[in-house]
Structure 1
Amino acid sequence: MDRNLALEFVRVTEAAALSAARWVGRGDENAADHAAVESMRRAFDSMHIDATIVIGEGERDEAPMLFIGEKVGKGGPMIDIACDPLEGTSITAKGGSEALAVIAAAEHGNFLHAPDTYMKKLAVGPGARGVIDINETPTWNLQRIAKALHKKVEDLTVIILDRPRHQELIGEVRQAGACIRLIGDGDVSAAIATADSGTGVDVLMGIGGAPEGVIAAAALRCLGGEIQGVLQFRKDDERKRARAMGITDENRVYGMDDLARGHVMFIATGVTNGSYLRGVRYTPYGATTHSIVMRSQTGTIREITSRHHFATKPNYGW
């Protein structure tokens, strides 16, 4: 993919973040989601690409979404897009941290094509790449990760979504002796955190959204980490859609090359403040955004701080 596309995609995540940030702390998840989606769609349609949304959330959320199979752009190179216009809708509504607008991009056919369902995930940073196995127990994996990182299990921090479905997982991790950081939302940010030594997070475990799993895989490919996933269907309708997409083995473990292969890009803009990105800050002239751009082909990671002057900038909905 043309490296210049990465900087064009930043404009798309910035547009979504600027719109979503108007709803921070206002208690309306759907309004924040809708604002981000519509701004991202308009920004996509201004780009010279022939892109297909292969990972979206239109099948799950009631709010209008960029749906799986939707075409965006006004013509150009064929690109597959995995996106979450607002990763952390509840975070945004409550005024919490770690909400992002996120895009992953790859050449056509290089992302897992799956229905919007859940996925069991296990993600680590570069130091523990190659030692994990999602089919093994959490205790087994923690012992392997600790050895790879030259730590004791008691020195590891596991990040887990705070959900009732994770009670057994949380109990086993505690029994193994590792520390736990429970989060309410935002497991793309959580997966990225495993690859940044400054966050203190060593591993992501648990069940979250499959779309977020694909997006996280793109980021970890750029960062040198690893993620494994197994789809977790909740109802027969999801299984039927999966079979229509060519997925026949419900127990298949999806590795990095299954989720996001080839040369990929990952782009994110902060909506609220987080450990990785600052949130949108409004100013007398407009706003300031903080974004990150990653390319797996070169391993280049760019942080971009942008000043947006609303009087002269194209309006995508904010």
Structure 2
Amino acid sequence: MTATSDKSYQTDRNLALELVRVTEAAAIGASHWTGRGLKNEADGAAVEAMRHAFDTVAIDGTVVIGEGEMDEAPMLYIGEKVGAGGPAMDIAVDPLEGTVLCAKNLPNALTVVALAERGKFLHAPDIYMDKIAVGGGLPDDVVDLDAPVGENLRNLARARGVDIADLTLCTLDRERHERLIAHTREAGARVTLISDGDVAGVIAACMEGSGVDIFVGSGGAPEGVLAAAALRCIGGHMQARLLFEDEAQVQRAREMAEGDPRRRLSLVDLASGDVLFSATGVTTGALLRGVSRPGGTRAVTHSIVMRSKSGTVRFIEGHHNFATKTWGRS
């Protein structure tokens, strides 16, 4: 390894740990509002904490997946510059994935950040996206976004050497997915429904032992890019397509990224190059435990951090003392 590549490798390793501090700060900020029924306050606390934490990260960052357009979000909007200076990086963030989950103290609320080299994330507006994802170690064409769900389940079962009855499909519990759910059950597979938080759902479909074999359905485009970033690190297959409600959304997508905005997107169309990903649990779910506050003077966090370059996945437990915590240099 050359001196230059060694320095780059060390920088990536340092950034991976810095990202954990960012998602930890956001999760602790949001956790104050867990179960209080105030989703906007929870989201605002996560956004503010995440933004301040980014002030200490050694990057020249541009938010490409954020809280919305500049006139829609006061902080962490698409195009906002963050970081203390350093390598040029694109940032995808969801300061609180599952605001309703946090407000109702339901499972799977997360704080999520991903970094990539400039131009390596799909620049997508905050609209819906159709998605399908399965784990790694399978043929590239094992599933097809445009195929009927029964066909995808049969192909997946064949590739894994199991019966369809052994498969579980995860999707958001939405009226728009009623036919998908019915056809899945008709094919013989089980269905796991989640109320929110499809980043965790997609990741679960690609992690051994999660109890989920495939994720299918439509959810937010920003969440799709974040999930793709995670899959670049842990391995998996994903296809997606932006869903538009009007021509104005099509034009906005055309302005933000090259290519046909209605095309089918592969995993590397969504996230490519060297990717770093971090998530911290706010409420306990299938992927991570939530924030606990023993005694009210401390917080315990559980995070996952991944690097596509090494393929390393780390689970990190953090213990935070509010009496001595200095968020700016934590």
Matched, 1:311 2:323: yes
Matched, 1:170 2:177: no
Matched, 1:86 2:112: no
Q: Pick from 300, 305, 310: which aligns with 1:288?
A: 300
Matched, 1:34 2:48: no
Q: Tell me how far apart the structure 1 counterparts of residues 287 and 197 of structure 2 sit (CA, whole Å).
A: 12
| 1:139–1:174 CA distance, 2 compared to 1 (3 A) | same
Q: Tell me how far apart the structure 2 counterparts of residues 213 and 64 of structure 1 sit (CA, whole Å).
A: 23
Matched, 1:124 2:118: no
Q: Tell me how far apart the structure 1 counterparts of residues 18 and 110 of structure 2 sit (CA, whole Å).
A: 17
The answer for the alignment partner of 1:105 in structure 2 is 115
The answer for the alignment partner of 1:75 in structure 2 is 85
Do the aligned partners of 2:253 and 2:261 also contact (CA within 8 Å) in 1? no
Do the aligned partners of 1:37 and 1:64 also contact (CA within 8 Å) in 2? no
The answer for the alignment partner of 1:263 in structure 2 is 274
Shift of 1:250: 3.9
Residues 89-111 of structure 1, C-alpha deviation per residue, up to 9 Å, x if partnerless? 11001110011000111111110
What is the identity, as a one-letter code, of the residue corresponding to 1:27? Answer: G
Q: Tell me how far apart the structure 1 counterparts of residues 32 and 301 of structure 2 sit (CA, whole Å).
A: 13
Q: Which runs of 5+ in 1 are unaligned?
A: none
Residues 41-83 of structure 1, C-alpha deviation per residue, up to 9 Å, x if partnerless? 1111122210001111324996645211111012111111111
The answer for the alignment partner of 1:302 in structure 2 is 314
TM-score (normalised: structure 1): 0.95
What is the identity, as a one-letter code, of the residue corresponding to 1:314? Answer: T
Q: Tell me how far apart the structure 2 counterparts of residues 105 and 45 of structure 1 sit (CA, whole Å).
A: 15
Do the aligned partners of 1:156 and 1:179 also contact (CA within 8 Å) in 2? yes
What is the identity, as a one-letter code, of the residue corresponding to 1:151? Answer: V
Shift of 1:5: 0.3
Q: Tell me how far apart the structure 2 counterparts of residues 219 and 306 of structure 1 sit (CA, whole Å).
A: 21
- Choose 283-292 or 272-281, whichever is displaced more: 283-292
The answer for the alignment partner of 2:3 in structure 1 is none
The answer for the alignment partner of 1:200 in structure 2 is 211
Do the aligned partners of 1:82 and 1:104 also contact (CA within 8 Å) in 2? yes
Kindly report the root-mean-square deviation, in angstroms, between the aligned alpha carbons of the 2 structures.
Answer: 1.7
Matched, 1:114 2:124: yes
The answer for the alignment partner of 1:182 in structure 2 is 193
What is the identity, as a one-letter code, of the residue corresponding to 1:72? Answer: V
Matched, 1:23 2:23: no
Aligned length: 316
Matched, 1:7 2:17: yes
Q: Tell me how far apart the structure 2 counterparts of residues 277 and 61 of structure 1 sit (CA, whole Å).
A: 33
The answer for the alignment partner of 2:288 in structure 1 is 277
Q: Tell me how far apart the structure 2 counterparts of residues 287 and 194 of structure 1 sit (CA, whole Å).
A: 29
Q: Pick from 48, 57, 65: which aligns with 1:55?
A: 65
| 1:63–1:92 CA distance, 2 compared to 1 (3 A) | farther
Q: Pick from 151, 155, 176: which aligns with 1:144?
A: 155
The answer for the alignment partner of 2:5 in structure 1 is none
Shift of 1:243: 1.7
The answer for the alignment partner of 1:229 in structure 2 is 240
Do the aligned partners of 1:214 and 1:260 also contact (CA within 8 Å) in 2? yes
Shift of 1:140: 1.2
Q: Tell me how far apart the structure 2 counterparts of residues 54 and 156 of structure 1 sit (CA, whole Å).
A: 35
Do the aligned partners of 1:33 and 1:63 also contact (CA within 8 Å) in 2? no
What is the identity, as a one-letter code, of the residue corresponding to 2:15? Answer: L
| 1:121–1:129 CA distance, 2 compared to 1 (3 A) | farther
Shift of 1:315: 4.3
Instruction: Give the 3-state SS of the residue equivalent to 1:189 in structure 2.
Output: helix
| 1:286–1:39 CA distance, 2 compared to 1 (3 A) | same
| 1:91–1:64 CA distance, 2 compared to 1 (3 A) | farther
Do the aligned partners of 2:70 and 2:77 also contact (CA within 8 Å) in 1? no
Instruction: Give the 3-state SS of the residue equivalent to 2:32 in structure 1.
Output: helix
Shift of 1:246: 3.5
| 1:215–1:200 CA distance, 2 compared to 1 (3 A) | same
Instruction: Give the 3-state SS of the residue equivalent to 2:129 in structure 1.
Output: strand
Runs (4+) of structure 1 exceeding 3 A deviation are 59-65
TM-score (normalised: structure 2): 0.92
The alignment-based identity, stated in percent, is: 57
